[in-house]
Structure 1
Amino acid sequence: MMTWLRSLLFALLFYPGTLIYVLTVIAVAPIGDRPVQAVVHAWSAFHHWLVRNIVGIRMEWDGEIPDGAYLIAVKHQSMMEAVDTLHFANTPVVVMKRELTVIPLFGWVTRRYGVIGVDRDAGASALRAMMAEAKAAIAGGRPVLIFPEGTRVAHGESPPLQPGFAGLYRALGLPVVPVAHDVGRLWHKGFLKRSGTVHFKVGEVIPAGLKRDEIERRVHEAINALN
């Protein structure tokens, strides 16, 4: 019963609150990039507070994500880490499904903040567009954050990396910071979110310039270290 009540209260606070933050971004957008980024980061901090204090999830970290231009590769098991990445990385440009970037209002805010929308069914043209947007991002000194397995998976699952990851790694020439976690034990898809402690592990920085098989193997092992 407590799990159900916590999950309900989270939904009642998070989704109306998200609409307020979205409208605030639209209001401050004419002022410039910094106000937009500040509001988006405040939204992520609001989400982080709800996760800790309403859902009852505590986070333990092994290692820190460094500042600077990196390709940050994160395991994807839930909405939680997808939103929280804006809280623990420094103004990252997030690679996400293009359909999320066309949601009314919310999609406009994602594009205004700076994301890279990917249509995985569009083939080579989509990959070229992703590379161009990513290069523009790192020109501004921002890290690029990607979920290299492509979609949310249950805790314990470790599908192969999507082919776009290796192309992005090669095109950007950036070292990779891999991040593993076990959030999916408590929060995956669906309404219910259980309280407890989740763990994040920042792996050893992987240098740029490795061959495709090597970078895919090392990233796949690192982001699945807590499976």
Structure 2
Amino acid sequence: MTNWLRTIVFYIVFYGLSVPIVLSVPISALFGRAAVIRHATFWSNLQRRLARPILGITVRVEGSRPAGPALYASKHQAMFETLELQARLDGPAMALKQELANIPFWGWAARRYGALVVDRDGSAAALRSMIREGAAARDAGRSVLIFPEGTRVLPGEQPPIKSGFAGLYRMLGMPVVPVAVDSGVVWPRKGAKKPGVITIRYGEVIPTGLPRAEVEQRVHAAINALDESRA
């Protein structure tokens, strides 16, 4: 089966099944946050379960993560990790673009899930709101997941850490777990997906209380470690 044929079959099956799953999220939201998290985890696991037999894509996990809540800072190369990490990190509060949060019904359900709404304009009010949402997740015993480079990038691209990360790190007082992924190699933003292995690597836990420059440097180096290993 060619890569394009595999990709088309995956799109038909995954998105065909995703439509009723996504449309029914508001129903789960009526039963509280735990129900929304279970709903999201089911959808997340569906992606991985279909990717292996249809696309020939498997997942390898390296390193370990702490038992308690943490601030996870992940590389972002594909839609893949937005779903995969939701399941692997036990339903963390996750950064969500403002445009998605504005979708009728679905956006309401995402807020019920505990999403951290990200305003790309980076206003002070938006940052304060994101910190409040992150603090609520922390106080509920949940981890927080963000993509500190701010956007999805191509393999090899290493943009600087966005300023909002430092604010979250300082105000939440949570240890940071950097997460390197290389999903873009087999799961490109454009074009056919390719058989292969996606690596998720948990980096060394970064303690609280570090100066901004130091924590940003350590996070940036760790989330880009898989790019460096291929160089």
- TM-score (normalizing by structure 1): 0.95
Letter in 1 for 2:6: R
What residue in structure 1 maps to residue 209 of structure 2?
209
Deviations along 1:6-41, whole A, 9 cap, x unmatched? 111111122222221123322233222222221111
Structure 1 segments unaligned to the other structure (5+ residues): none
Matched, 1:128 2:143: no
What residue in structure 1 maps to residue 114 of structure 2?
114
Structure 1 counterpart SS, 2:80? helix
Structure 1 counterpart SS, 2:201? strand
RMSD: 1.4
Give the drift of 1:122.
4.5
What residue in structure 2 maps to residue 98 of structure 1?
98
Give the drift of 1:64.
2.3
Q: Using the alignment, how far apart are the partners of 1:173 and 1:94 within structure 2?
A: 17
Letter in 2 for 1:31: F
What residue in structure 1 maps to residue 180 of structure 2?
180
Deviations along 1:55-92, whole A, 9 cap, x unmatched? 21111111123332200011000000111111110110
Structure 2 segments unaligned to the other structure (5+ residues): none
Count of paired positions = 227
Shift of the 55–108 alpha-carbon distance from structure 1 to 2, 3 Å rule, reads farther
Q: Using the alignment, how far apart are the partners of 1:220 and 1:157 within structure 2?
A: 12
Deviations along 1:39-61, whole A, 9 cap, x unmatched? 11101111111222222111111
Structure 1 residue runs of 4+, over 3 Å off?
Answer: none
Give the drift of 1:128.
0.8
Indicate the larger mover: 80-89 or 48-57: 48-57
Indicate the larger mover: 63-72 or 99-108: 99-108
Letter in 1 for 2:59: M
Indicate the larger mover: 14-23 or 125-134: 14-23
Q: Using the alignment, how far apart are the partners of 1:117 and 1:29 within structure 2?
A: 17
8 Å CA contact 1:65, 1:88 repeated in 2: no
Q: Using the alignment, how far apart are the partners of 1:161 and 1:184 within structure 2?
A: 19
Matched, 1:24 2:41: no
